[in-house]
Chains A and B, each alone.
Chain A
């Protein structure tokens, strides 16, 4: 049933779905945006972690006596103590602070920690060896759908192969960390976080565990994060370093800054689980997929972690026989953190790559094969449409050739594709919209902008609702004292925050209309706010500018409240999207170097609020996808148990010239009635599988695991 909260009809949208410059763009382009790392408070001290130099061991001694005599030393707090076990190199042992950044480096280096060494294991790909080291545990064994044995009998063609992708790390450019200023009963935290509203409780709980500190109230903590420099799923908690930083601030009576060093950031503050597996898929002669069977394993640190939802997208339980067994490999590496679309990029590689191999065996064009099986997905129509659209964008019909049929020269060109899905349901959110007598409008909530465009989307929603323009709206987010809104993870922010903002703004406008109706001697229902005016529908002579209308409030400020969810609040959001991506690559078979010619992406996302920022999310996903498809890998050495590349020289990320041409199409005007759905995760899923498939199409053989580095490409060619 239609309600007053529903999104305006397509014809009535002047801002929603259009291109807008990012509201916070100028502050960022000028270098004026203040991130947590940029906070310099009066008398501030610098803190640094001392971390474990062994991958597994028991702490038998911590000697800080030399450090305490170091110039500028101001204090330290232990995170672990003698007798505690460390389970990965880089584990946080203590935090130390000094008057300058140089002095704290010296002081930290003067701390001696002694360990009793314990056996470690850091390798995940060779599951047999990991098993011999007693590091493997069963995690899942699911059989679904029609009888598997019968299905294999009915298959005309089967493919069995080995596929996988390595552990990668988030490498946020602003490292994890914060500045804490504990003054009296007030704890101000400038945290680099994806969860402004969650941090007060998280910090208070962590501090209250320390008997020397006693109970700390969550409401004494104020988190301030107007800008943050990248999270991608890794920045939801205060972490040990945040709690230690607060303790140092209390101990010294000074503000303290503790941001992780780059090596710590890569070793312990990020981590996407690996996944490897033997996959078998089968289909009939006409391409109908009948069975999928997998035995996969992964690591995300000591707890194992990572269980890919396979078979992925193509998983109809009535028609596809499927068996998925998963093992967790426990390793002494930094613990996994959520990474855009947890487990889905892995599932895409473990499903879409064997499927393209099967298409090649069946001598079918993958576009036909993926479309033919679309009924095995949850949204066949969406995928069929998106496959056709994406094929058109990349020029599939002209450029595709049979696998390996790519000429005699050393540079081979190929195309590949992948499909994905994600939920993206809205998180809970409360919003307060204020209308001031001077005409000012503010949107207030304890949300955050990770760089996705939250400032801009909320401005657009409020301005559209009030008939104003984007600069007329002030968005206040990034403070935990504002109305509570959810953490930004799992593509939940845009759906939740735009809904609470829409409802709050509609409610605020209703109140304004009541006041204005009296002044204009009409009914509130007769009033419309549009084009910077409030006017009567029935009598065009009754019209006020927005400012004149707001002046009728006298000295009163209107506050409109809005919530997500709200049972009576209209249909503003949904969950569940598709998405298709295709890659065009060149591979030099003499050097093994893969380069991207083009990637095309088609993405449905319900109702688009800000087209440009939506596209930016997809472009960013494709570029991150090029990174983990071709370059990124956290490399661990079994002998020392340490990460060999915790830096940005050898933990490789692409530059502006490494990404080829990217083309993005947001599906608009087709699924708008569904309302807003999150965009952060879906496009981040498919790039690796699409690029791997394109490489296989180019060189005629599958490079089994990502990243597709030159050595692996050459090895795959040599083994063919």
Chain B
């Protein structure tokens, strides 16, 4: 998305854009385009960014499109996407760890881009296509990145794993032949404490080629 904007400057073409996580630019842009995207799926929203009318602090009704399903919920405008997913919708795959856009454990895809869901408000995510770790596999088969995580023992305690899988998916979605340097760069917004990076790097590299 933002990487396609020529005003972003030449140093950040699609290939160089860090694929993982939140950036100030996407955050601001997310607020700006919310209304248009909401309009596109035709739901009436009280928390419209284009009306410039303050919402909250009381809960507002919102609709989130998650893993292809529409979820209606009422949240205070300050509720982050991670808290909406985990506390309201029991989608607990994404983890809350640093809660300030550093560690990547909360990574989900929003409109196909990886986003730190601890640093996006739930109301901003309206009208956007949210994909969580729960949505990328079926009962019978895992996403190639997930399957390769298992093959390469790319997990220990596993708490960072969902975020790393989503960051890995973002890499392979955008680049079918990533080099190991591409993989390392794409994973650089995620932190593992047990020390699983050796397996994680191999898993993402192989998943792209699977």
Shortest distance between the CB of A340 and any CB in chain B (Å) = 11
- Output the residue of A33, A173, A612, A617 with the most chain B CB within 10 A: A173
- Does any Cβ of B come within 8 Å of A686's Cβ? no
Q: How far is the CA of A649 from the CA of B102 in the complex (A)?
A: 6
Q: How far is the CA of A102 from the CA of B83 in the complex (A)?
A: 9
Residues of chain B with a CB closer than 8 A to A232's CB: 193
Taken residue by residue from 123 to 165, chain B's Cβ proximity to chain A (1 for < 8 Å, 0 otherwise) reads as 0000000001110010000100011011101111111111001
Residues of chain B with a CB closer than 8 A to A102's CB: 76, 78-79, 83
Do A31 and B94 touch (CB < 8 A)? yes
- Does any Cβ of A come within 8 Å of B66's Cβ? no
Stretch among A10-18, A438-446, A655-663 lining the B interface: A655-663
Do A29 and B153 touch (CB < 8 A)? no
Residues of chain A with a CB closer than 8 A to B161's CB: 28-29, 31
- Does any Cβ of A come within 8 Å of B47's Cβ? no
Do A230 and B157 touch (CB < 8 A)? yes
- Does any Cβ of A come within 8 Å of B26's Cβ? no
Do A31 and B102 touch (CB < 8 A)? no
Which residues of chain B in 163-210 are interfacial with respect to chain A, using CB atoms and an 8 Å cutoff?
Answer: 165, 181, 183-185, 187-201
Q: Which of under 10, 10 to 19, 20 to 34, or 35 or more describes the interface residues of B?
A: 35 or more
Shortest distance between the CB of B75 and any CB in chain A (Å) = 9
A-B pair count, CB < 8 Å, reads 177
Do A34 and B92 touch (CB < 8 A)? yes
Question: B79: nearest residue on chain A (CB-CB)?
Answer: A102
Do A656 and B193 touch (CB < 8 A)? no
Which residues of chain B in 69-92 are interfacial with respect to chain A, using CB atoms and an 8 Å cutoff?
Answer: 76, 78-79, 83, 86-87, 90, 92
- Select one of A616, A654, A657 contacting B153, CB under 8 A: A616
Question: B166: nearest residue on chain A (CB-CB)?
Answer: A31
Do B133 and A101 touch (CB < 8 A)? no
- Does any Cβ of B come within 8 Å of A422's Cβ? no
Do B95 and A37 touch (CB < 8 A)? yes
Residues of chain B with a CB closer than 8 A to A690's CB: none
Do A653 and B191 touch (CB < 8 A)? yes
Taken residue by residue from 102 to 121, chain B's Cβ proximity to chain A (1 for < 8 Å, 0 otherwise) reads as 11010000000000000000
- Does any Cβ of A come within 8 Å of B33's Cβ? no
Do B157 and A173 touch (CB < 8 A)? yes
Do B191 and A230 touch (CB < 8 A)? no
- Select one of A35, A40, A228, A659 contacting B87, CB under 8 A: A40
Do A620 and B156 touch (CB < 8 A)? yes
Q: How far is the CA of A451 from the CA of B102 in the complex (A)?
A: 23
Residues of chain B with a CB closer than 8 A to A25's CB: 149-150, 153, 155
- Does any Cβ of A come within 8 Å of B98's Cβ? yes
Q: How far is the CA of A28 from the CA of B193 in the complex (A)?
A: 15
Which residues of chain B in 30-64 are interfacial with respect to chain A, using CB atoms and an 8 Å cutoff?
Answer: none
- Output the residue of B132, B165, B197 with the most chain A CB within 10 A: B197
Q: How far is the CA of A26 from the CA of B97 in the complex (A)?
A: 21
Do B102 and A101 touch (CB < 8 A)? no
Question: B146: nearest residue on chain A (CB-CB)?
Answer: A29
Known: A25-B153, A229-B157. A616 touches B196 (CB 8 A): yes
Do A262 and B98 touch (CB < 8 A)? yes
- Select one of B99, B146, B149, B197 contacting A623, CB under 8 A: B197
Q: How far is the CA of A648 from the CA of B104 in the complex (A)?
A: 11
Question: B157: nearest residue on chain A (CB-CB)?
Answer: A451
- Does any Cβ of B come within 8 Å of A269's Cβ? no
Other than the given A654-B197, A655-B188, 5 more pairs (CB < 8 A) read A25-B153, A40-B90, A173-B191, A173-B192, A174-B95
A-B contact pairs, 30 of them (CB 8 A): A21-B153, A25-B149, A26-B142, A29-B161, A30-B142, A31-B132, A31-B162, A32-B93, A32-B134, A38-B86, A38-B92, A40-B90, A172-B193, A173-B103, A173-B192, A174-B95, A175-B97, A227-B158, A262-B97, A262-B98, A612-B153, A616-B196, A619-B196, A620-B195, A648-B102, A649-B102, A655-B188, A656-B201, A657-B184, A657-B185
